[in-house]
Structure 1
Amino acid sequence: MSYTLLKRENSDSCVELAEQYVLGRVPCMLTRCSRKGIYVLLCVLLYGITFLVLAPLACISFKHVGLDVICFRNKAAGNARLIAQNQARLNRSLVTLREYSRIDSYCRMFPATCRRKNAQIADGEEKTAERDLQNVSIGMQLIRKTFAGGLAISFVTTRRRSNITGYRGQYLSQSVAKMLNIINHGDRLTNDVPIYFSICNVDPRLEVNPEISNLPKWIPVHKRFDGRRKLSIEDARSSYEKAKNDYVFCLEHTLQTNASYILLMEDDALAMDNLFHVLSHFIFSLRKLSSDETHVPLLDKLTYLKLFYPVHLSGYFNVDPERVPELISVALVLTALTLCAVTFCQPSLRVSPTFVKIAFVFFLLVVVIIGRYNIIELRSVSDRLFYLTPAPRGSAVAVLYPRQGALDIARYLPLYRCDKRLPKDLAMGEIVIKHGLDARLVQPNLFEHIGHYSSVHQKLRNPFAT
């Protein structure tokens, strides 16, 4: 009987121990289940907000987004908006050009250039000039030394005919008016630097380009084709070959000014207001100490500096190797800032690795949706936030050449035969790679490409990819 009681007591104690174990484990299991449920709910909310709220808002708010395939855009409305913007900008530009037409001569607009041309400095005057140079700031001395030969600014233009009723592109008028305004408002780079401003007309027809008639008469216009020079058979057969030869002609013509730097643009390149402020910043900051202990700007060691790159080629998913690491870096920074904010607001909260992973993937998707272009544009709030990267192949809408770089491109580019597979901008990239040269790209863009109408394809471009 005692054995039976002992066995029953042992069984009761085992049951009690089992009950205690189960009752002790249940809260832990419930806690784990509730924690997993919270993470699942958090994932659903974050990804739902990303794709159902943030993505549509990005499509509405931004012209260029990273995942354009998720946007249902109205191209007709986009084209109408760009046409209206172009017309309004053209009307303002024509008023501006009429004001500049009242200037009676080139020397009144660019007095420093004419002073340089007409300078006949005697020995005594030369000493005075050297003494004056010592009295100016170190920055201005550097500017004058860098641009000792001046800055040549030229637009490559040709007639653009539109088959759209009532649409007048007239991009040259807008680009020239904006550039003259930027120069006229003054900058330490343009105040005392000789400016050689010109138009390079590559239209094969002998009659006057109607766009040029809108410009002030004192602006020099250089024609590639006249009674002596006519369109060659190769140029007539291939528009790509003609575009290359046009570019080489205009580059060689600007080199005749003996300018230290050459800014060569297509006629639909609209400069940003801070163009020369940013270039001045690069002159001061990108320099190295040479053997004679004087500061030499690094810009003059480049072959060329691209000032514009197409928006639709500026995304994270590109052949350029630095784009994906840049995407990951931005997502990591945003994740780190979020973790700092969470720990600051709730110091007692323990952040799990799962939360970190959820936050990182979320910000990765957010950055991709918003798009690299819109994120880089945040840097435009300050001239000091612009930066240089290796120049990708493609696009020669606006390029700044040091003199030696312009000589190199003018020498090597004619050796390439350009076609649809190898246009002139890709050929320029081939030259840089083949000869071990250095070319850079400014980011964000310092120019806007307003050429909404393609004269080659005779149609409007995608309004969300210009």
Structure 2
Amino acid sequence: MLRQGLRLYGKWCRFSRPITQLLTLTVVTFGVLAPLICHRLLHSYFYLHRWHLNPMSQEFLEQNQEDGQAALRYFEDLRTPNSSEISGDKALRPWLLITIITVQRRNEFHYVLQVASRFHRLLQQCGPHCRSHQIFLCNVEQEPGSHQDARLLGTFFAMVSRYKNWEDPNASVNQFEKEKRDYAFCLEQSLLAYSPEYVLLVEDDAVPEEEIFPVLQHLLLARLSKPHLKDALYLKLYHPERLQRYINPEPMRILEWLGLGMFLGPLLSSVYSWVSGRPSLTWPIVLFFALYSMALAELVGRHYLLELRRLAPALYNVVPATECCTPAMLFSAPSARRVLGYLQELHCRRGFAKDIALYSLLRTKGEKAYVVEPNLIMHVGMFSSLRPNDSPKLL
């Protein structure tokens, strides 16, 4: 009995050593708990693509189709407003003009109706703070009369069409250059029609988040009024979630990642010392928990940490812009005019689309641009107008 008791005591002593406990914690966390909890999180390293990607993509498409039908019913049930109620009085200069760029897409999803109905509903809920906001529709379909959703929205909002008939005056240009010219046309028309202080240029598959207007109010009046942010060329409201990880080319994220470890390392070490009854912190244990928390944050997904910032507008982050994607871009009136001049000098092509062209201006023209984290819009369009795909996936 004494020998058996000594053996059990020896095993307990070995397990009670910090290296054994911390090794066990690592194995349990990364080998058992995290895979079990996170295997359905789309933007996590633990996501099981083979099990979930196809059914989740199909579920997303079905939900998107239902949302499109709901948006159609929204405008069908909405009484036809007078021009001053929704379309806006052009004699009044809006503080924020929301310009929706639209082209004919898959009819059953009614992408542009989803975007417009969400913006309209949020403006109605926003109250007095949003009375100086207006919605403007820019139809860049080559045969504008065939775009039925745009025709429906034209009874509610002011609208401009780039093309008057099927004949395209720019038929000789490639699709990427056409997209850039359409984009520039809509931005220019926004300035000419309303002369707003800010233009939010939104593509027709970029549905706004519920908190977009309170956050923009805070950003434009408080954060972006600071000298080093005030003259930015643009502010992006969206960056793809799959590109928001810490291990990415953006050096600012590495600093954020290290800061997370420096904060959580001592905090978790203190909790460990209290639970294990150890008298004080040691640097090896602090270092372990710093690396442990950094690894856990990256593997679970930085995107999910960013979601915590939605608790209040002041928590949203503004960081230097990254290259990809233009579903929702905010321009001040002076920066919009600069962008229009710059875009005339650039020719887009495959591999150098308008998002890359805009980003290239930051280097060639010495401009600055920023992106908001987390995203203020949801990119719902799985069917691209540039790259046809009959079987789209979420990733």
Which category of TM-score, normalised to the shorter sequence, fits these structures? Answer: 0.7 to 0.9
1:279 counterpart (203, 211, 216): 216
CA contact (8 A) 1:151 1:260 kept: yes
Match for residue 258 of structure 1? 195
Pairwise mapping of residues 435-450 of structure 1 onto structure 2 (< 5 A)? Answer: 435-450=365-380
Unaligned 5+ runs, structure 1: 1-29, 119-147, 163-167, 289-295
Q: Does the CA-based 8 Å contact 1:234-1:241 persist in structure 2?
A: no
Q: Which residue of 1 aligns with 2:171?
A: 233
Identity %: 22
Instruction: Report the counterpart of residue 80 of structure 1 in structure 2.
Output: 58
Q: Match for 2:83 among 101, 106, 113? A: 106
- Displacement of 1:36 in angstroms is 8.6
Distance across 2 between alignment mates of 1:212 and 1:70: 39
Structure 2: gaps of 5 or more residues: 1-9
Cα deviation per residue 1:229-266 (whole Å; 9 max; x = unaligned)? Answer: 6242333xx22111111101111111102111111110
Q: 1:181 aligns with which of 109, 116, 121?
A: 121
Are residues 169 and 228 of structure 1, via their aligned partners in 2, closer, same or farther at CA, if it must alter by over 3 Å? closer
Distance 2:207 2:117 in 1: 9
Count matched residues.
384
Aligned mates of 1:335, 1:70 — CA distance in 2 = 29
Q: Is the 8 A contact 1:206 1:226 kept in 2?
A: yes
- In 2, are the aligned partners of 1:50 and 1:362 still within 8 Å (CA)? no
Amino acid at match of 2:349: D
Q: Indicate the SS of the match to 2:84.
A: helix
1:94/1:214 contact within 8 Å kept: no
> In 2 relative to 1, CA 358–70 (structure 1 residues): closer, same or farther, beyond 3 Å?
farther
* Helix, strand or coil at the partner of 2:58: helix
Structure 2 match to 1:309 = 239
CA RMSD of aligned residues (A): 2.7
CA spacing shift, 1:87–1:361, aligned 2, 3 Å: same
Tell me by how many angstroms 1:199 deviates: 1.3
Do the aligned residues in 1 keep the contact of 2:198 with 2:332 (CA within 8 Å)?
yes
Give the match's secondary structure for 1:437: coil
1:182-237: CA deviation from partner (whole Å, max 9, x where unpaired): 1111245312x1x44221111112542022244361322211111496242333xx
Alignment of 1:158-307 (within 5 A): 158-161=103-106, 168-191=108-131, 193=132, 195-215=133-153, 217-227=155-165, 230-235=168-173, 238-256=174-192, 257-286=194-223, 300-307=230-237
CA distance in 2: counterparts of 1:358 and 1:270, whole angstroms: 42
- Aligned partner letter, 1:117: A
Tell me the distance in 1 between the aligned counterparts of 2:270 and 2:350.
51
TM-score by length of structure 1 reads 0.75
1:44 to 14, 18, 24: 24
Partner Cα distance (1:284, 1:182) in 2: 19
Paired AA for residue 141 in structure 2: D
SS in 1 for 2:288: helix
Greater CA radius of gyration, 1 or 2?
1
- Structure 2 residue aligned with 1:131: none
Residue 151 of structure 1 pairs with residue 96 of structure 2: yes
SS of residue matched to 1:338: helix
Q: Measure, in 2, the Cα distance between the counterparts of 1:286 and 1:313.
A: 24
Alignment partner of 1:459: what SS? coil
Q: Is the 8 A contact 1:413 1:431 kept in 2?
A: no
